[in-house]
A and B are shown apart, each in its own frame.
Chain A
Amino acid sequence: MTKEKKRNPLFSWNLLLNPWVVVVSMILGMFIGAYHKRFAVGLAPFGNMYVSLLKMCVLPILISAVAYSLGGLLRAHAAKTYLKRLLVVFSVTLVLTCAFGLASGVVSRPGTGLNEDILGRIINDSPLAPDLEIFFFQPNDPSEQLPGLLKFVVGIIPANIFYSLTNDRNLQVLLFAIILGFAIGLISTKASDNLLILLDAVFKVFSKIIRWIIYALPFGLLCLMADLISRIGTEILLSMIKFIVVFHVCATVVLIINTVIIWKRSGSSFTFVLSALKEPIILAFGTRNGFATLPSALDALHEKLNFDQTSTNLLVPLGLTICRYGNVLYFAVAIMFIAQLYNASLGLSGMTMALICTVLAGMATSGATGIVILSMLAIVLEPLRLPLEAVLILFIAIDPIVEPMRTVITVHSSCSAASLISDRPETPGEYAS
């Protein structure tokens, strides 16, 4: 950010970046959503336009950031040390997040004391849960199968990278970017120089565009929040309140732990860390799209907190794509909810199974959007022999309420993991010029 621009005596565009303006617009949006539903519905397309605008820049940034960083690291022969740390940090943090979610579910018992009649009515009224109407004597159309782990593994490799790019297959794009980065790092310096310069330029250009888009954030958030709140039914909110509260309490604890980690690693003061990360958090909450937050998160870690750009540019996209911390935490609480609802005791082996499968299911959600994310719960429930269909409807119904926090956790934890893996900044961001 250039300092001269801030000194405009008449009107500063930077006023739009003021956190208070952003918060007030969010609250205004919530108010519209709660009391002026029709107006909120009218605002929804503008909210979607805003998210599209952010997403527009994501793919170039994802590819250029990952390929550039990986190529650069390999050329500097620093990749090996990172790789070890990366594997350890990502797997340990994922397992810890999941274990924390499961434990909270065991302690707080969100799946007990429910008003089953209200929940049942919500299931019956849902267009997603009709009677299963099937032919008995004649052959049926092949039914849609719930996602399985094998399908996910097979689907990681893109057959056509352009298809993946145009169809939001972010995991496939990430794999492609990693392979690209590896190749760049391993060819001769002379040959790869130009490509690296190009990738760096692409990254900078799209980051600049994102900076411009952020100016419209208050308006975008207002529309998004109005739309979101207008879609929440009070009945389902009240009947699932225990689950929702448990998840949000868990999420808040994870947020605090993350902030402490980043604070300790960055060397800046606690309040500076908070203010540096507020933009990615607000964006994640408002847009409910982790990737849309990527440029802002990279900016916060490098520009504000002064972490090494090469490593954060690689680690944050990796974390965002593969380690969906928010989904892992949500799934963990959800599994305990379902087990309690059906009075199924999991036992030690069941809990171990739940721990492993939840982490895998969380990873399998990368690249998935909307209802597909929730249906990944099947990956955990199938080995645990628990039914999903009925509860899935309930989870879909409350998703507008929990999705913002889920995204925040994914983004924030990715930042925190990135800060653990990369080296401490030489000068803390707070004191850097």
Chain B
Amino acid sequence: MLCKGLKLRIIFIITLVIILTAPGVSSQDRHPGIQLIKDKGKLVVAMVNADHPPFFMVNEKGELYGLDVKLGKDIAQELDVKVEFNRKAKTFDEVIAMVVRKEADVAISKLSKTLKRSEKVLFTTPYIVLRRGLLINRLKMAQTGDDGGPIEFITNLRGDIGVIAASSYVDFARRMFPKASIKEFSTWEDVISALEKGSVLAAFRDELEIKKIIRARPGISLKVQTVVFKDTKDPIAMAVSWDNPFLLYWLNEYLETRNFDLDADKLLSEYSGIFSSGNR
């Protein structure tokens, strides 16, 4: 983290020196990345065109809200400009592409930091780190468990694990649970109902989605056990164009100053309203 900050600072200073010494550019109060947004008078935030509560979703009145929306608005307010959410992108990778094409200043869209994406854009420090987790059918666990205890049982999971088809979790599951057989379902709801029926032993996804199920349908706690893997990390961060390290630097300063200190539980408590509609 320190190394990275240092690196960014060096990049920033070098770039600043280049700009300041470049002919025809007058010295400015602000660095150019920020000045660009100031000149436009608005901050364009790219966001996927599908709800991902509690990161971004639309309420009954049609208003967009959620953590990513709150961050976008807050950043714009800090910069003293208007905010515009561009939701044309249909997939997460399209959001990245929009930043690359500079159709948006920043992408705040529950983006997982990956090496592949880092080839195209610059990621800020993560504003929340999600971990991977499992929901395990308690009855099936008792029926198939041996004497090794629950931790032994989970880390050497045998049996069927349900995941969403063609998601990154198919691959994660294969690597983490080589002794288990991976069953793919088209939606998360299908995975959960298979889990409840006992046709799969466990459901595998990120911590947030796992805890969402427990909160939306508390009754399921009798039947399933939640497991979170403390050493699996999925950092969620904002992305900016690779040629705007100024904005990246500013955003990292912003995150450091605000010190949100978020985790899945805090986030779900803050947006507990999303469960009141009842997802049954």
Quick check: A117 and B218 within 8 Å, CB to CB? yes
- B132 (CB) vs chain A CBs: closest residue: A136
Residues on A with beta carbons closer than 8 Å to the beta carbon of B227 = 131-134
- B149 (CB) vs chain A CBs: closest residue: A143
B217-230 to A contact mask, C-beta < 8 Å, 1/0: 11111110111111
B133 at the interface (CB under 8 A from A): yes
Quick check: B142 and A381 within 8 Å, CB to CB? yes
A319-357 to B contact mask, C-beta < 8 Å, 1/0: 000000000000000000000011010000000000000
Quick check: A136 and B155 within 8 Å, CB to CB? yes
- B280 (CB) vs chain A CBs: closest residue: A117
- Most A CB contacts (10 A, CB to CB) among B138, B142, B155, B225 go to B142
A119 at the interface (CB under 8 A from B): yes
Residues on A with beta carbons closer than 8 Å to the beta carbon of B110 = none
Q: Measured between alpha carbons, how far is A382 from B142 in the docked complex, in Å?
A: 7
Residues on B with beta carbons closer than 8 Å to the beta carbon of A382 = 142
B60 to chain A, nearest CB (A): 23
B137 to chain A, nearest CB (A): 9
Residues on A with beta carbons closer than 8 Å to the beta carbon of B229 = 134-136
Quick check: B142 and A386 within 8 Å, CB to CB? yes
Quick check: A131 and B219 within 8 Å, CB to CB? no
Partner of B151, one of A121, A129, A140, A389: A140
Quick check: A134 and B222 within 8 Å, CB to CB? no
- A137 (CB) vs chain B CBs: closest residue: B231
B-side interface size class: 20 to 34
Partner of B138, one of A116, A135, A387: A387
Q: Measured between alpha carbons, how far is A390 from B228 in the docked complex, in Å?
A: 17
Partner of A134, one of B141, B155, B218, B220: B155
A391 at the interface (CB under 8 A from B): yes
Quick check: B231 and A124 within 8 Å, CB to CB? no
CB within 8 Å of A: which B230-270 residues: 230-232
Quick check: B141 and A124 within 8 Å, CB to CB? no
CB within 8 Å of A: which B186-245 residues: 211, 214-215, 217-223, 225-232
B154 at the interface (CB under 8 A from A): yes
Quick check: A123 and B222 within 8 Å, CB to CB? yes
- Most B CB contacts (10 A, CB to CB) among A117, A120, A140, A342 go to A120
Quick check: A385 and B222 within 8 Å, CB to CB? no
A166 at the interface (CB under 8 A from B): no
CB within 8 Å of B: which A379-403 residues: 381-382, 385-391
Q: Measured between alpha carbons, how far is A117 from B275 in the docked complex, in Å?
A: 13
Given A143-B151, A387-B138, A387-B142: A136 and B176 interface contact (C-beta under 8 Å): yes
Residues on A with beta carbons closer than 8 Å to the beta carbon of B220 = 116, 120
Q: Measured between alpha carbons, how far is A131 from B221 in the docked complex, in Å?
A: 10
Residues on A with beta carbons closer than 8 Å to the beta carbon of B221 = 119-121, 123-124, 129, 390
Partner of A344, one of B132, B133, B139, B218: B139
Quick check: A131 and B228 within 8 Å, CB to CB? yes
Residues on B with beta carbons closer than 8 Å to the beta carbon of A81 = none
A385 to chain B, nearest CB (A): 5
A416 to chain B, nearest CB (A): 36
Residues on B with beta carbons closer than 8 Å to the beta carbon of A387 = 138-139, 141-142, 225
A145 at the interface (CB under 8 A from B): yes
B150 at the interface (CB under 8 A from A): yes
- A148 (CB) vs chain B CBs: closest residue: B147
A67 to chain B, nearest CB (A): 39
A138 at the interface (CB under 8 A from B): yes
Q: Measured between alpha carbons, how far is A249 from B223 in the docked complex, in Å?
A: 28
- Most B CB contacts (10 A, CB to CB) among A129, A132, A138 go to A132
CB within 8 Å of A: which B129-144 residues: 132-133, 138-139, 141-143
Quick check: B226 and A134 within 8 Å, CB to CB? no
A133 to chain B, nearest CB (A): 5
Q: Measured between alpha carbons, how far is A423 from B124 in the docked complex, in Å?
A: 85
B60-73 to A contact mask, C-beta < 8 Å, 1/0: 00000000000000
Quick check: B149 and A120 within 8 Å, CB to CB? no
Quick check: A391 and B176 within 8 Å, CB to CB? no
Residues on B with beta carbons closer than 8 Å to the beta carbon of A131 = 133, 211, 226-228
Q: Measured between alpha carbons, how far is A389 from B218 in the docked complex, in Å?
A: 15
Quick check: A132 and B142 within 8 Å, CB to CB? no
Q: Measured between alpha carbons, how far is A140 from B152 in the docked complex, in Å?
A: 9
Residues on B with beta carbons closer than 8 Å to the beta carbon of A386 = 139, 142
Residues on A with beta carbons closer than 8 Å to the beta carbon of B141 = 387
B229 to chain A, nearest CB (A): 4
A111-133 to B contact mask, C-beta < 8 Å, 1/0: 00001111111011000010111
Given A131-B133, A132-B227, A136-B232: A120 and B142 interface contact (C-beta under 8 Å): no
Q: Measured between alpha carbons, how far is A381 from B145 in the docked complex, in Å?
A: 12
A137 to chain B, nearest CB (A): 5
Q: Measured between alpha carbons, how far is A140 from B132 in the docked complex, in Å?
A: 16
Quick check: B226 and A132 within 8 Å, CB to CB? yes
- Most B CB contacts (10 A, CB to CB) among A116, A131, A341, A390 go to A131
Q: Measured between alpha carbons, how far is A138 from B231 in the docked complex, in Å?
A: 8
Partner of A119, one of B151, B154, B214, B219: B219
Q: Measured between alpha carbons, how far is A382 from B138 in the docked complex, in Å?
A: 12
Q: Measured between alpha carbons, how far is A163 from B222 in the docked complex, in Å?
A: 39
A383 to chain B, nearest CB (A): 11
Given A132-B225, A134-B154, A134-B155: A390 and B231 interface contact (C-beta under 8 Å): no
A242 to chain B, nearest CB (A): 15
Quick check: B225 and A390 within 8 Å, CB to CB? yes
Given A143-B150, A381-B142, A389-B225: A116 and B219 interface contact (C-beta under 8 Å): yes
Q: Measured between alpha carbons, how far is A38 from B176 in the docked complex, in Å?
A: 51
Please, could you name 24 A-B residue pairs with CB atoms under 8 Å apart, sorted by A? Answer: A117-B217, A120-B218, A121-B218, A121-B221, A123-B221, A123-B222, A124-B218, A131-B227, A132-B154, A132-B225, A133-B228, A134-B151, A134-B155, A134-B227, A136-B132, A136-B155, A136-B229, A143-B149, A342-B138, A382-B142, A385-B142, A387-B138, A387-B142, A389-B138
**Residues of B with Cβ closer than 8 Å to A?**
132-133, 138-139, 141-143, 149-151, 154-155, 176, 211, 214-215, 217-223, 225-232
In order of increasing CB-CB distance, the 8 nearest A-B pairs are A116-B219, A120-B218, A387-B138, A120-B221, A387-B142, A136-B229, A131-B226, A121-B218
Given contacts A136-B230, A342-B139, 5 further A-B contacts (CB under 8 A): A116-B218, A121-B218, A121-B221, A133-B228, A138-B231
